[in-house]
Amino acid sequence: MTVRVSLGDRSYDIRIENGALDRAGDLLADYAARGRFIVITDKNIVPNQLYRLETSLTAAGIASAVEVLPPGESTKSWKMLEKLTDALLNYGVERGDTIIALGGGVIGDLVGFAASILKRGCRFVQVPTTLLSQVDSSVGGKTAINSKAGKNLIGAFYQPVHVLIDPTTLDSLPPRELRAGYAEVIKYGLIDDAAFFGWCEANGGRLLAGDPEARTHAITASVGAKARIVGEDERETSGRRALLNLGHTFGHALEAETGFSDRLLHGEAVAAGMALAFRFSTKLGLCPAEDAARVTAHIAATGLPATLQAAGIEASGAKLVAHMLHDKKMAGGRLPFLLARGIGQTFLDKTVDLALVERFLDEERGAS
């Protein structure tokens, strides 16, 4: 299955194929300038996926150098960006070379940003190995590192030349990470596809249990939705792409409160954030209570946090809102919120009173 991201002369394909990693040498041969790739990964990927990629490249007669980084959100830092760019320069990377990002969202974000600034722009290919990166972060060209002020505040829009998705890489993914990625799958149904959310309610358990058909369907549907939205609004200038941030304003505040640590994975924070967004929309009289209840119930049923308590958050509404003020989407002193009129009816609101958000979060904190 191939999905096209249509961006004029920067358009690229997303290939979704079981076993694609074992055929990567043939599938990516056209990008092997000077007959080589530079592969960037993290140490968690090495035991299960790096060997598959290297074996495939060798069989196709393509040389590869490998740089292994530490896993985890802390890798998206100035320190690691400097280490990576120095390593790439030591490998003698030229603008015509292609860097492969093999891993989850952290590796994809960091490598993409490094590629965007190294020698004013080098080619890179995304080979995502987690559900979250396969359905979301590997597509669309958002690259970034974190700073002390917040998550993803330093980065660039920089598109890959190809995305290669092999759903079999999910076989070795820990259940918690698989669930965290599933939050982003749910998101596409909540944005503008109520029927897909219904599919998630009926089939999410199959996906999480490893059913190949459910897994491939979810990835293809999610990638197709994101490719369509990115093609319409690559840099969030019209507001259309902003819909992809559903749950992220609340979610990033929760991540900041937990120090962007493994206490709360990104997908877990987004899951809680989406449930909060729907319940807040109900509080404002925008969304039917039964729709918010469905969203909360499905998120909780998959083992994801749907409340502040389930996410382990005890902070006051004021503290969480203070985290939101560092959001990169702030404009003119206003913070846009993704709200909903119902499942599949998400919209952007730039007039939300943060005092109401604070009061709502305090009520949520005290809820049983």
Contact 51, 64 (CB under 8 A): no
d(CA 114, CA 63): 21
The catalytic residue positions are 120, 142, 184, 226, 236, 241, 245, 248, 252, 266
Q: What is the 3-state secondary structure (H, E, C) of 203-260?
A: HHHHHHCCCHHHHHHHHHHHHHHHHHHHHHCCCCCCCCHHHHHCCHHHHHHHHHHCCC
Which sign does the torsion angle of CA 162, 166, 169, 170 carry? positive
User: What are 316's two structure tokens?
Assistant: 């006051």
Distances, alpha carbon 345 to alpha carbons 121, 193, 252, 281, 293, in Å: 38, 8, 22, 11, 15
Q: What does residue 262 show for φ and ψ, rounded to 5 degrees?
A: -70, -5
**Residue 35 CB contacts under 8 Å (≥ 6 apart), including other chains:** 61, 62, 63
Q: What are phi and psi of 69, to 5 degrees?
A: -110, 165
Which residues sit opposite 150 in a β-bridge? 147
- Alpha carbon distances (Å) from 118 to 19, 101, 200, 251: 31, 15, 40, 31
Q: How many CB atoms lie within 10 A of CB 325?
A: 13
Bridge partners of residue 102, in order along the sequence:
127
